[in-house]
């Protein structure tokens, strides 16, 4: 049984995507100011999370078929982990 996205879910997903994009723009601003690659990684990660929230609504994907879209979240979290580890390893060397 397929459950389509309700208008309320679409509204919430859009608001979350907008919030993620705003966070991405803030980190992009900090990266341009400091040149620190950690901020660039955070900006890219929040951009991926925005895409991951917006795609189910834009594509009209039912709840059961969203497993592939969660790869955007996985990529975002892996990017954050790698960036933090790289920053800490660079600092310790």
Residue 29 half-sphere exposure toward CB, CA atoms < 13 A = 6
- Numbers of helices and strands, H then E, in the chain: 3, 0
What is the token pair recorded at 14? 């859009």
For residue 37, count other CB atoms closer than 10 A to its CB.
13
Among the listed residues 2, 11, 86, the one whose alpha carbon sits nearest the alpha carbon of residue 42: 86
> Is the torsion defined by CA of 66, 71, 52, 55 positive or negative?
negative
Answer yes or no: pTM beyond 0.95. no
Q: DSSP character for 35?
A: -
Instruction: From first to last of the 93 residues of the chain, give the pLDDT tens digit.
Output: 577 788 999 999 999 999 999 999 999 999 999 999 999 999 999 999 999 999 989 988 877 788 888 999 999 999 999 999 999 998 766
């Amino acid at each position: 049984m397929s459950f389509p996205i309700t208008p309320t879910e679409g509204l919430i997903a859009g608001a979350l995507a907008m919030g993620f994009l705003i966070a991405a723009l803030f980190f992009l601003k900090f990266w341009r100011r400091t040149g620190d690659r950690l901020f660039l990684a955070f900006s890219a990660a929040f951009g991926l999370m925005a895409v991951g929230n917006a795609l189910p609504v834009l594509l009209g994907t039912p709840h059961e078929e969203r497993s592939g879209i969660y790869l955007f979240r996985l990529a975002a979290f892996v990017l954050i982990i790698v960036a933090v580890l790289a920053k800490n390893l660079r600092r310790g060397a």
